[in-house]
Structure 1
C-alpha cells in the first residue's frame, strides 16, 4: 500500500463513514472500543500515516517543543537538551532541535520555522549576536510559551533558568586565593553576554574582598577556544609582573592556557594554578585534571522543561519564573596545592 492512504480509503475498506474513521483514530469516546480496534488495525495494515500538522491545527496542540541552542556539538548544550528530553519524552512530547551558530538572523529563522510547525513551546539559549527583541515578542503574541535557559534577555512574561555566574566566578577566584595565589588573571568571554559579565564581576569582587587589586593587564577578553588560551599565555609571558593563576570563563580557554604554560616549562599547580568554567568532560579525564565550575546542564534542562510544563498546564494563568541554579566548583590537580 502507498503511504498516502487516506481516511477515505480506510472508510471504504470497512464500509463506514470517513467521519467515524477520523473519530476512531482520535480516540473519540462516542466510538465503541470494537470499532476503534478495527479502524486502528486496518489503518496499520494499509500503512496509514496521520497528518500531524493537520492534527495540530485542529486541536491547537502538536506535542512538539522547539529547542534552540547556539551549537549542538558543545557538551554543555547537548546535556541541556538531554535534560529537556528526560522530562518531556515520558509525557508524549517530541523535541525539534535548532542551532543558531551565534547568528541573530538564523535565530529569527529558527523561531519562525518552529512557529510554522505549530510547536507548543520554545526553550532556548540566546545567540550572542542577538540585539533585536521583535522575534521574541512575535512568539509571545502567538501565545506560545517561551523559556530562556543559560543565556537570556530580560523580557516581561518570559521565564528564565540560569546559573549564578557571579557566584561561580567568585567561588573560583576565592579558591585560587586560598591556594596562595596573589596575581590572578582572568580569561573572559564576550562580556556583552550577561554570563561572562557576571563571571568577571564575581572574579573582581573576590579579589576586592581579599584585599587584592585587579590588574588590567591580567584581564583578557578572548574567543572561547584553545588557540585563544595559547595567545593569552604568550601575552602574559611578556609582562614584567606575570600572573600566578588564571580563572578562565571557559574550559577550552583553560586547556589552551595549560598547554602553553607547559610549553614554557611552568609547573602546574606548584608555580601556576588554573580554574576553568563549565566542567567539560575532558577536564576530569586528563592526566593533569582541570578544576572547573560545574553548571549542572542536565538539571538546567530538566528545570527549563518543568517551567514550560507549568505554563502549558493552565494557559489562562500567566507564569513568569526566574530560576537561578547554584554552581559547584570541582577542585582537581590544576589548582590543588594541598
Structure 2
C-alpha cells in the first residue's frame, strides 16, 4: 500500500514551500493563478486528497449537514431527504443521512456522531420514543443550527418545518362528512408525537363544527402498519353502532382497514369511506385508490434546508428561530368519493 501523499511531497516536487502549496489548495488570494493551477495539477497527478476533517477543524466549516430520520426506506422521508439535498448541494453542502429506527438511544448516539464529524448543521425528525432534550441542548451549546421537520419538540431557539396537522385532520374529516358519512371513526397514532394529537384534534373539531357528536369510542390509537388497520376494523365492527367511515392518520393503517372491510364484504365507497394521511405512492396505484392528505414532503425538505441556510448566512438579517407551517391538501380518490346519486340520498 502506497504512502499517503502530503503537501510536503508536492512542495518538494515543485521546489516551493509547503505553506505556498497549502495556500494554493485553499484558494488563498495571495497566490497567483499560475501557481495555483500548477499546484492543483501536480496534486491531482500525484493522487493527493485533502483531509476534510482537518480543514473543518482549522476553518470551523465542514460543508457537511447531518440529516436524521426515523427510517430512510419510506417514501415520505426519502422525498424529504431529496428536497434537502436539492436545496443544499448548489450551496456547496454535502449531506450525511442517518436513521434512528425510532429509538431515542440511537437518536442520541447519532447526534453525537454528527457533532464529532464537525457538521455545520443538523436537520432532523424525532423518533417516537424521544423524550430527553440534553442532546438537543448539546447541539445548541455548540452554536450549531438545529432544524426540526415533520416531528418536532418546542425548544426555544430551534426552528421547525411542519405541516398544519390540525388542518389536515379537519379537511379529511370534513370531506367524509360532505360524502354523507355520519359516524366517522378515527385511527390515530401515539399522542407522544404531537403530529398525531393535532390530527385528532382536527378530526374532533370538524365533527363538532358540522353538528356531529364526538365519541371517544370511535377514536383508536394504533401502530402505523396494515395489521393495525385490520385489527382496528375488527374492534370497530363490534360496536353497537358501527361506523360508516374511517379517517386514518396513516396510509398504511388505512390500507389494512380497507383490506379487512373488503374481506367482510363491505362495499367501498358505497357503504363505507376511508381517508388516509401522507399520500404514499401506493395510494394512487391500487384498483381502489385511497384518498389521502398530502404532506408535501419534497417541499418540506427544501424549506428545512432554506431555514438552515437562512441561519448560517443571514446573521442580523433574519429571525434565527423560524416556525414554518405548510398547508396540507386532501387528494380525493375512490376510497371516499361516493356516487353522486347515493350521496344526495343521504
TM-score category of the 2 structures, normalised to the smaller one: over 0.9
Report the alpha carbon displacement of residue 336 of structure 1 after superposing the two structures with TM: 0.3
State whether structure 2 residue 228 is matched by structure 1 residue 247: no
> What per-residue deviation string (whole Å, max 9, x for no partner) do you get for residues 172-217 of structure 1?
0000000000000000000111000000000000011111112222
User: For each residue in 1:37-85, what CA deviation from the matched residue of structure 2 results, as whole angstroms up to 9, or x when unmatched?
Assistant: 1111111111101000000011111001000001111111111000000
* 1:209-256 CA distance string (max 9 Å, x none): 111112222111000000000101111222221100000000000000
Check whether the contact 1:3–1:48 (CA below 8 A) recurs between aligned residues: no
Report what 1:143 is aligned to.
Answer: 143
Aligned length: 338
1:258 equivalent in structure 2: 258
Structure 2, unpaired ranges of 5+: 341-346
- 1:66 aligns to what SS in structure 2? strand
Which residue does 1:26 correspond to in 2? 26
How far is 1:332 from its partner?
Answer: 0.3
TM-fit CA distance, 1:3: 6.6
Q: 1:48 to 1:3 in 2, by over 3 A?
A: farther
Deviates more, 1:89-98 or 1:235-244: 235-244
TM-superposed CA distance for 1:315, in Å, is: 4.5
Partner of 1:282: 282
Q: Which residue of structure 2 aligns with residue 326 of structure 1?
A: 327
Runs of 5+ unmatched residues, structure 1: none
Alignment partner, residue 168 of structure 1: 168
SS where residue 260 of structure 1 aligns? Answer: helix
Match of 1:10 in 2: 10
Cα offset, 1:136, TM superposition: 0.5
Q: Which residue of 2 aligns with 1:159?
A: 159
Q: Secondary structure at the match of 2:199?
A: helix
C-alpha distance in structure 1 between counterparts of 2:298 and 2:3, whole Å: 38
In 1, Cα distance between the equivalents of 2:81 and 2:296? 12
Residues 2 and 47 in structure 1, CA contact (< 8 A), matched pair in contact too: no
Question: In structure 1, how many angstroms separate the alpha carbons of the residues matched to 2:211 and 2:162?
Answer: 30
Separation in structure 2 between the aligned mates of residue 73 and residue 107 of structure 1, nearest angstrom: 17
Encode CA deviations 1:111-138: one digit per residue, 9 max, x unaligned. 1111111100000011111111111011
Alignment correspondent of 2:78? 78
Q: Secondary structure at the match of 1:148?
A: strand
Distance, in Å, in 2 between the alignment partners of 1:298 and 1:326 is 13
Distance in 2, matches of 1:38 and 1:2, equals 23
- Equivalent pair of 1:161/1:303 in contact (CA under 8 Å): yes
Q: Structure 1: how far apart are the matches of 2:230 and 2:119?
A: 43
Which residue of the partner structure matches residue 119 of structure 1?
Answer: 119
Alpha-carbon displacement from aligned partner over 1:287-328 (angstroms, at most 9, x marks no partner):
100000000000000100000000000456661101000000
- Please give the alpha-carbon distance, in whole angstroms, between the structure 1 residues aligned to 2:179 and 2:316: 53
What secondary structure, in the 3-state scheme, does the structure 1 residue paired with 2:235 have? Answer: helix
Match of 1:310 in 2: 310
In 1, Cα distance between equivalents of 2:310 and 2:3 = 37
**Aligned 1:161-240 pairs, distance under 5 A:** 161-240=161-240
State how far apart, in whole Å, the 2-side matches of 1:95 and 1:7 are: 27
User: Matches of 2:332 and 2:245 in 1, distance apart?
Assistant: 14
State the secondary structure of the residue aligned to 1:255: helix
Q: Does the C-alpha gap of structure 1 residues 3 and 313 become closer, same or farther in structure 2, counting only changes over 3 Å?
A: farther
**SS of aligned partner of 2:214:** coil
